[in-house]
Structure 1
């Protein structure tokens, strides 16, 4: 079959945590391929590696894999401002990629998880739209699905550093925009977010976060941690893999900023090809899905009220 072999260590994790059965793997892939061929509304990638990635993300439940694939492509067609005409070399993407907002650590956690640090203060509020930022973030997610088996299998941890973040940073995202983004990540992507660690949170953060927290599923809410200091963070993410700015031993953060940008840029052709995939709601068996079905009604989301 046409998929990458993974190390014995990664396969053991997938067998234990994701219900992967090497003896049934090819059969499961073929089952999903046959199902895709019978969906008149779906224009989806159907190569073995792509299907295997979704099977792993759905813990090899065939029905959940079908639902996830359908939602993945449904959301792409529903949000063309984020998922169509994606170019990592566009001025907007380059501004975000070169800002240093997102840094991928070179070493993984002891559990094999990729660790990302997010520093929103490095991008001036309003310098990029929420759609511009979301477009690049989802390019990273798609590149992960395309080439990073270790993260697909083991998951990812995000450290969100709010030092220097102002109210203007938070107000640049409306509840409606957050609802759309969280729906995509939670319902459309077969990835494993294993922890969100927040540090240097500003005064009044709790009020703001409570507004957005409603969009997260309970499983995600249980994986959100707010740390009062670095010592608390180190109980979850070891010092050995952290840059020195976070009390770690991995050297200055400025020396490790390039990998995240490189992953996205080297997948430019993949993103361009992706434009041909999606759904045709007029051909969907049963009732077509609408924006209201997917995200609710925009007017129902109350706006931020800041004293």
Structure 2
């Protein structure tokens, strides 16, 4: 029996994902329409949020929040708040007009490679493909969030089962590291953890240059403890990586059985470009803090650095 989505304009889940969503994410197919409607009713009462998300985006947020309506509301509020609070990452995302943004996408630094043994989507990230003198790290991060928007709208496996990320840092240069200001890292951490219904299950880092180790520690100081527990550094030991991530999900130029990283990256970049109309339409979404009931949020509230370094030891 297939997944009956009723009147909702969402993709039906294949049987294995549906079963997982019911068991692990508390998804009740018969209750989905009511849950989506509850979120829609909540949006109508939020005078400060300028947005009208479609059924697919709402269901992705519900799944990412394990169908807790309160958590879904909190995450949606943050999702639209950061679009206004962090315009450098979430505004002006038209790939047909911004040449540098399109060039950054075409570098092909992030792409899906396959499904692991637990049914999770594996993504490969190649750091340092950009020229630090030309492509700002900010642009790379901006494209990365555009990809995350693509996932939550189009990739049910990533939303339901979660993702595994393999991050290769062999091409990173000192010029890249110097652009990772603590304030930017804090924004990335808060936006990705609190604003997206994303479920990273593991992150594997390989080929870490010595100057990046300190930076990684700094980034971890901003992350939630649960995320840090899921981060694994393998150094240059690919055999150690192969024990954690199936070789069939790694590009052939990294010792795996999947197509080359160039081929996979080009295919994925084309999909992002095809999705450009969504980014253009999303431009109008955000918040008006003057209309928020209660205390208005500020950048200091969301991204203030106080206390962030308390547990950090850089040796």
* Higher mean C-alpha displacement, 275-284 vs 206-215: 206-215
SS where residue 115 of structure 2 aligns?
Answer: coil
Q: Which residue of 2 aligns with 1:158?
A: 165
Aligned position for 1:272: 280
What per-residue deviation string (whole Å, max 9, x for no partner) do you get for residues 219-252 of structure 1? 1001100014111111111012222222212243
Q: Which structure 1 segments of 5+ residues have no match?
A: none
Aligned match of 1:291: 299
Matched with 1:202 is 209
* Conservation of the 8 A alpha-carbon contact between 2:205 and 2:232: yes
* Equivalent residues of 1:241, 1:248 under 8 A apart: yes
Q: Distance in 1 between matches of 2:50 and 2:214?
A: 42
Moved over 3 A (4+): 297-302
Q: Whole-Å Cα distance in 2 between the matches of residues 252 and 141 of structure 1?
A: 22
Q: Does 1:176 align with 2:183?
A: yes
CA gap of 1:290–1:164, structure 2 versus 1, over 3 A, is same
> CA offsets, 1:133-173, max 9 Å, x none?
22211111111112111211111111111113222221121
Alpha-carbon distance, 1:47 to partner: 2.3
Residue 237 of structure 1 corresponds to which residue in structure 2? 245
Give me the TM-score of the superposition, normalised by structure 1.
0.93
Cα deviation code 1:186-233 (max 9, x no counterpart): 000001111110111112443232222111101100110001411111
Within 2, Cα distance between the matches of 1:238 and 1:282?
A: 50
Q: Could you tell me the TM-score, scaled by structure 2's length?
A: 0.90
Quick check: 198-207 or 229-238, which moved more?
198-207
1:93 and 2:98 matched:
no
What is the Cα-based RMSD across aligned positions, in Å?
2.3
2:72 maps to what in 1? 65
Q: Aligned pair 1:131/2:117, yes or no?
A: no
Partner of residue 221, structure 2: 214
**Which 5+ residue runs of structure 2 have no aligned equivalent?**
1-7
Instruction: Please give the residue correspondences for 1:243-254 in structure 2 after superposition, counting only pairs within 5 Å.
Output: 243-254=251-262
Between 1:39-48 and 1:261-270, the stretch displaced more is 39-48
Q: Tell me, what secondary structure is at the counterpart of 2:294? A: coil
* From 72, 81, 88, the counterpart of 1:81: 88
**Secondary structure class of the residue paired with 2:111:** strand
1-structure distance, mates of 2:162, 2:50: 27
**Distance in 2 between residues matched to 1:137 and 1:44, nearest whole Å:** 22
> In 1, are the aligned partners of 2:94 and 2:276 still within 8 Å (CA)?
yes
Task: Measure, in 2, the Cα distance between the counterparts of 1:83 and 1:188.
Answer: 12
- SS of the counterpart of 1:87? coil
**Stretch of structure 1 that moved more, 235-244 or 282-291:** 235-244
Q: Which residue of 1 aligns with 2:4?
A: none
Q: Which range moves more in the overlay, 181-190 or 159-168? A: 159-168
Aligned equivalent of 1:121: 128
Spell out, residue by residue over 1:19-48, the C-alpha distance to the aligned partner (whole angstroms, 9 max, x if none): 111121111111111111111111123322
The match for 1:43 among 45, 50, 53 is 50
Contact preservation (8 Å) 2:221, 2:308: no
TM superposition shift of 1:88 = 2.2
Q: 1:219 to 1:297 in 2, by over 3 A?
A: closer
Q: Match for residue 54 of structure 1?
A: 61
Counting matched residue pairs gives 305
Report the Cα distance in structure 2 between the residues aligned to 1:103 and 1:63, rounded to whole angstroms.
Answer: 32
